[in-house]
Chain A
Amino acid sequence: MSDLRGLRHGSGNRLTGLLVAAVLVAGWWLAAWSVADPSGRSSPLLPSPADVFEAIPRLSVFAGPGTPQTFGNAFWVLLVNTVASATTLFGGLLCGGALGIGLGLVLGWNARLRRMFEGPFLVVRVIPLFALLPLFLSWFGGARIGSVSFVAFAVFSMLFVNTLEAIRNVDPVARVFARTLGASPLRVYRTVVIPAIVPELAGGLRVVLGLAWAILLAAEFLAAQSGIGRIMILAQQYFDLSRMILIVLLIMLYTYALDQVVSVCVARITRWVPRI
């Protein structure tokens, strides 16, 4: 019964999603058509979906001047820049995540340790992330390591706070129960605290992932030599809105795909969490 309802709910959601997407595209088309000049040429400020599609081969230019404008070359441009962005994103996530969760776990072990270091480390909470971007640019210039460290820093600051909070929320009864079953404090940490914080960390990670992606694009707008953010800026320099919209659509696709993958993983590792 509940399974059935769940299924219907799920497919209902997907249907609504598709419907909303269709309405949006239709709206876009209508808007583009209404601002087109009488001869039928679209306004450069609002290209129609067809214009955007036709702009795909023009992406080839970003592989270097004189590159033939073909779908193949365009695809290659997207691939190269996607790989560059993904490397930065996952590099930053990995470094920042390992550091943030690692430090959180070390400080979470002992209340004295936590009181001593938590204050200074929580300063990261009040640092305005985007205001730091120019600093990172000054330090690293356009080098990719600059965007990686910036993403890593952002991820670190969020997951560190998240980890400490999650440790504080662990059910004390489970911890104490493990102790009465003969587990040493270290064992309790390993076998009770760490598994118990996973759902909260996974939730945090999901938020962080979305943010890291936005932060990465910001960093690439300002500096990087390659990456999705970089070709967005190049397209802007050509004042080519079709290509800009194309890249925005691509970013939307990536964000959606990433979130889908993460939500499936999160659902898998948090399946034990009691819900009412």
Chain B
Amino acid sequence: MVPSSVGGDAPIAELVPHIRLRGVSKVLRTERGAEITALTGIDLDIDNGSFVAVVGPSGCGKTTLLNQIAGLAEPTEGEISVRGRPVRGPGRDRGMVFQADALFFWRTVRRNVEYGLETQGLPRAERKEYAEKYLKLVGLMEFADLYPKELSGGMKKRCQIATVLANSPEVLLMDEPFGALDYPTKCQLQEQLLNILAREPKATVFVTHDIEEALFLADRIVVMGKGSIRRIVDVPFTKPRASDLRVDAKFAEQKAELWRALEGWLTAADETADA
């Protein structure tokens, strides 16, 4: 019942989340009856403690991919399993930070963060303790007793992040979680996220449009285009990563290289796909 790693230090052996996608395709149907192929033949393995960033142009299927792993929709074709068990519907083991505002507007910020803990049946005192830990982490402690309508866009996002993290899922799915934040706050949260993941290893899939963010956080970067994986790039930096990695010459070099390569991968593959 108790979140496995909140407060504890040692990674627990039986938690070996391992996400495995095999030939995952998803066809979506529009209101007008047209079919959109949002994903085609996705193969991907993600180990526990491994951080995968997903980048790619808007509309290429990143959110759709996360939805499949979260169990919010079933793939049209292919198999997804987490820790060897096929995914059937959503569950507390796979936490998701939504691109949209996912908040319980009738609850205060604090009670939002406590939602998952309540579901687990934690007693009040513990709920309060965990909630406050994550509220502090995202810098919302002084806004704990406000309603979500009284928060700014970025604060709403941070509230959602705290809600998901407080629930300590084994798999962390994040859809552009830091997109709405200013640069310093973003950097700070990136570092805190890495700290948490160092203490509580999870398999993380992190969607972003920010190459620098992907390089700083991820072990691997998945480049997507038009519903398929175009490239998987291994990030050469070891963990733990300190914040001064951002100003490292090697970091800048990697970033530039990735930038140059990115457009080529996407257009070349699109041409072959269109041909």
Residues on A close to B: CB < 8 A? 173-174, 176-183, 187, 191-192, 195-196, 198, 271-275
Q: Quick check: is B23 within 8 A (CB to CB) of the other chain?
A: no
B149's partner among A191, A196, A275 (CB-CB below 8 A) is A275
Give the segment of B31-39, B98-106, B200-208 that binds chain A: B98-106
> Are A272 and B105 in contact, CB atoms less than 8 angstroms apart?
yes
Q: Could you tell me which residues of chain B, from 141 to 191, have a CB within 8 Å of some CB in chain A?
A: 147-149, 160, 163-164, 167
Query: What's the Cα separation between A273 and B149 when bound, in Å?
Result: 7
CB distance from A203 to the nearest CB of B (A): 15
> Are B147 and A271 in contact, CB atoms less than 8 angstroms apart?
yes
Q: A174-B102, A180-B94, A182-B116 are in contact. List 14 more A-B contacts (CB 8 A).
A: A173-B101, A174-B104, A176-B72, A177-B96, A180-B72, A180-B90, A180-B95, A181-B116, A191-B115, A272-B107, A272-B149, A273-B149, A274-B105, A274-B148
CB distance from A230 to the nearest CB of B (A): 42
Closest to A275 in B: B149
Closest to A195 in B: B106
Residues on B close to A: CB < 8 A? 70, 72, 89-92, 94-96, 98, 100-107, 115-116, 118-120, 147-149, 160, 163-164, 167
CB distance from A196 to the nearest CB of B (A): 7
> Are A272 and B94 in contact, CB atoms less than 8 angstroms apart?
no
> Are B102 and A173 in contact, CB atoms less than 8 angstroms apart?
yes
Knowing A182-B92, A183-B119, A275-B149 are in contact, say whether A177-B105 is a contact too (CB < 8 A). Answer: no
Q: How many A-B residue pairs have CB under 8 A?
A: 73
> Are A274 and B149 in contact, CB atoms less than 8 angstroms apart?
yes
> Are A176 and B147 in contact, CB atoms less than 8 angstroms apart?
no
Contacts of A183 in B (CB 8 A): 115, 119
> Are A173 and B120 in contact, CB atoms less than 8 angstroms apart?
no
> Are B119 and A187 in contact, CB atoms less than 8 angstroms apart?
yes
Query: What's the Cα separation between A187 and B91 when bound, in Å?
Result: 13
> Are A181 and B167 in contact, CB atoms less than 8 angstroms apart?
yes
A-B contact list, 7 entries, CB within 8 Å: A173-B101, A176-B72, A176-B102, A180-B72, A180-B92, A180-B164, A181-B167
Contacts of A271 in B (CB 8 A): 147
Closest to A196 in B: B106
Contacts of B101 in A (CB 8 A): 173
> Are A177 and B92 in contact, CB atoms less than 8 angstroms apart?
no
Contacts of B96 in A (CB 8 A): 177, 180
Query: What's the Cα separation between A195 and B103 when bound, in Å?
Result: 13
Query: What's the Cα separation between A129 and B174 when bound, in Å?
Result: 52
Closest to B104 in A: A174
Closest to A192 in B: B104
Query: What's the Cα separation between A272 and B101 when bound, in Å?
Result: 15
